[in-house]
Amino acid sequence: MILQMDLLNVVQVYINPLFLSLVLLFCLLIWLKPAKKKNLNLPPSPPKLPIIGNIHQLGMLPHRSLRDLSRNYGSLLLLQLGYNPTVLVSSPELVKEIVKNHDIIFSNRPRTTAVDILFYNCGDMVFAPYGEFWRQVKRISVLELFSHRRVNSFQFVREEEVELLNNKIRGACLKGESINLSEMLMSVSSNIASRCILSHRSEEEDGCSKFGQLGKRLLALFTGFCIGDMFPYLRWLDVLTGYIPSMKALSAEFDAFLDHVIEEHSALEVDGQVSNKRTSFLSSCNSKRMACMRWTSLETTSKLSYWSFNPIFPFIFLF
C-alpha cells in the first residue's frame, strides 16, 4: 500500500504541468545552445535569419542580388541557404585558385534529390564523385565523343541538321511566319546529340527528337526548387506537391526509352547494318548512365548558339 502511494506521488510529480514545462524548457535551451565553434577562418557573411539563412536576400533577380552582395562583402563570401553553407566567388583570380590550383578539393558537385533520382544516384560523369570511376568515364567520353577523329566522323550529322534548320527557317520566311529561334536551336542540339550518342532520330511534331523531349522535361525538373534540399525535414512536401513523383515517372520513362534504343541498336549490330562510320557512342559503352551525360549540355549548347546571333540582329534591322 505504501509502495503504491509512493508510485502515485512520483507519477503525479512527472505529469505536473509546471514540471513538464521546466523539462521542455531545459531541452529547448540545450538544443538552442550553440556548440563550441572551432576558430575557422571563414569568409565574411551577410546577416542571416534563423532557419532560412540568407535565402531572403536573393530576391527575384538572384544574379543581381549576388552582385550587390559581392560588392558589399568582397569577392569571397559565405551564404547560408537553408541548411546549405554556400561560398560565392566573384573574382577571376579566386576562381582560378579554386578550379586550377585546388580543383580536386572542389571537384565534387552537390548531391541533390534531382541528381539522385534523375542521374542514377550520381552514377553519371557529370555528378559522379571524383575517383576511379569518374576518371574511366571521362576517358571513354573523350575518346568516343570529343576526340578529333570522332568529331570528324559526326560531321555529316551536323551538316544534315543545320541544313534542315535552314530549310525550316527559309520556309517560315516565305510564308511570312514568325519563328522561335531558341526552340529551333534546342531541337537541333538535341537531334545532333541523339544521333551521335544513340544513332537515333525520331522527330516529333515540334522538330525535336524523343531524346530532346525528355531532355526538356528533365531540365525543367532539374532546375526546379526542391524544398527538401534546403530544409531536409520538409522533404515530405516535395512528395505532396508532386515534384518527386514527377521525377520518378520521368526517370522510368527515360529508362524505357533507352532500353528500347539499346535493344534496337543491338539488333542492328547483330544483322551487320551498322557501318563503322556511323558507329554511335552507345555502341562503345552500351550504358544508360553514359547516355544520360549529354542531357545537361543541351541547354548550354542551344543558349550559346542563340546568343551568338544577337550581335547580328542590329545589322539586320538596319536594312
The predicted-structure confidence for 10-67, as pLDDT tens digits, reads as follows 344 445 565 556 656 655 655 555 555 567 788 999 999 888 899 999 888 988 999 9
Residue 24 CB neighbours (<10 A): 10
Percent of the chain at pLDDT above 90?
17
Residue 106: pLDDT above 60? yes
What pLDDT score was predicted for residue 185?
A: 84
Q: Within its chain, how far is the Cα of 294 from the centroid? A: 12
Domains of the chain, by residue range, sit at 132-308
What's the pLDDT tens digit per position in 166-193? 998 999 989 988 888 888 888 888 888 8
Residue 72 has what pLDDT?
Answer: 93
Quick one: average pLDDT of 128-149?
84
Is the pTM higher than 0.75? The answer reads no
Q: Indicate if the pLDDT at residue 89 is higher than 90.
A: yes
Q: Are 132 and 263 in contact (CB under 8 A)?
A: no
**For residues 99 and 106, what is the distance between their CA atoms, to the nearest angstrom?**
7
Q: How far apart are CA 43 and CA 56, in angstroms?
A: 20
pLDDT at 4: 44
In this structure, are residues 218 and 251 in contact, taking their beta carbons and an 8 Å threshold? no
What is the fold, at CATH topology level, of the domain defined by 132-308?
Answer: Cytochrome p450 (1.10.630)
pLDDT of residue 313: 42
208, 202 in Cβ contact below 8 A? no
**What pLDDT does residue 314 have?**
42
Average per-residue pLDDT for the chain: 76
Q: Which residue has the higher pLDDT, 17 or 150?
A: 150
Q: Considering only CA atoms, which of 238, 300, 242, 296 is closest in space to residue 109? A: 296
Beta strand 84-89 with 76-81 is antiparallel
Q: What is the pLDDT of residue 264?
A: 78
Instruction: Tell which wins on pLDDT, 191 or 285.
Output: 191
The reported pLDDT for the residue numbered 270 is 64
Confidence (pLDDT) at 273: 58
Packing angle of the helix pair 2-14, 17-32 (nearest 10 deg): 50
72-76, 94-98, 130-134, 309-313 — which is least confidently predicted? 309-313
Lowest-confidence segment of 57-61, 115-119, 131-135, 282-286 by average pLDDT = 282-286
At 159, give phi and psi (nearest 5°): -65, -45
* d(C-alpha 56, C-alpha 82), whole Å: 10
Instruction: Answer yes or no: are the C-beta atoms of 142 and 290 closer than 8 Å.
Output: no
Q: What are the residues facing 80 on neighbouring strands?
A: 85
